[in-house]
Amino acid sequence: MPCNHARDCRLVPAGRTRSLHTLTGMTLQRRVALTHGLALAGALALGALAACSKRKPLGRVVPAGAAVLALGDSLTFGTGATPETSYPAVLAALSGWQVINAGVPGDTSAQALERLPALLQEHKPTLVLVSIGGNDLLRRLPEADTRASLQHICELAQAAGAQVLLLAVPRPSVAAAFVGSLSDHPMYAEVSAALRLPLHAQGWAAVLADESLRSDPIHANARGYAQMARSVYDTALGQGLAQRR
């Protein structure tokens, strides 16, 4: 058959044509298989990442009506507001728990530790909310002593059969408070990690950094305590300590 192209026409033998078709088909199959393999690997990797991102709650549900001990200082007591607007009182209304306000203004972590055994024996709480150490930091007491007292408080509560939710306290800083950027002292996260306890982070820091939520530079007002109670309740829900009512 004559060729109409300017260049030479070269016929490919029939057997070689079939070989080329076979090789092309094999190449396509391999590409499809490789694509499917990569897609499957990607899906498995995404599934693994999703599983890792879903952290298992650290706590057990504390039922409505259960005794919950709020251990602390003036921030727990509710200085700057009325007793019914303290954070333990607002939290009781939100959760249905019987929250015992064991806040003593001026208390250090060592003094709270000294009071704790009698409180545990009297109230037999299912949950202890630990918010202490602010006065230690304000008075510049040795941080190693504060950390040791804080850890001992949590361990005593656990030994009594109670769960513990640790409430972080911010570093005292007039400059940071003035610009609204207080941050938690790192020892609370360290104790939480060491004892595998749920941590309520940036609760007091957020309140005390907002002038509209403070009654004075180191205490909340009613609005501030209400915000703290809501954020503690949200953390309890997220950590499996509470069920939404």
For residue 181, name the pLDDT band (cuts at 50, 70, 90): confident
Please state the rounded mean pLDDT for residues 97-101: 98
Are 199 and 236 in contact by the 8 Å Cβ rule? The answer is no
- The domain spans of the chain are 12-54, 67-238
Tell me the pLDDT of the chain averaged across its residues. Answer: 84
The mean per-residue pLDDT over the stretch 71-76 comes to 98
Task: Say what percent of the chain tops pLDDT 90.
Answer: 71
Q: What CA–CA distance (Å, rounded) separates 11 from 24?
A: 19
Q: What is the pLDDT of residue 59?
A: 84
What pLDDT, on the 0 to 100 scale, is given for residue 8?
A: 41
Q: Using pLDDT thresholds of 50, 70 and 90, give the confidence band for residue 111.
A: very high
pLDDT on residue 198: 98
pLDDT of residue 197: 97
Predicted pLDDT of residue 245: 85
* CATH no., domain 67-238: 3.40.50.1110
pLDDT tens track for 21-63: 444 444 445 554 444 444 444 444 444 434 443 455 668 999 9
Least confident of 69-78, 126-135, 167-176, 194-203: 167-176
Condensed to tens digits (0 to 9), the pLDDT of residues 186-242 reads 999 999 999 999 999 999 999 999 999 999 999 999 999 999 999 999 999 999 999
Separation in Å, CA 174 to CA 74, 164, 177, 242: 19, 30, 5, 35
pLDDT given at position 68: 98
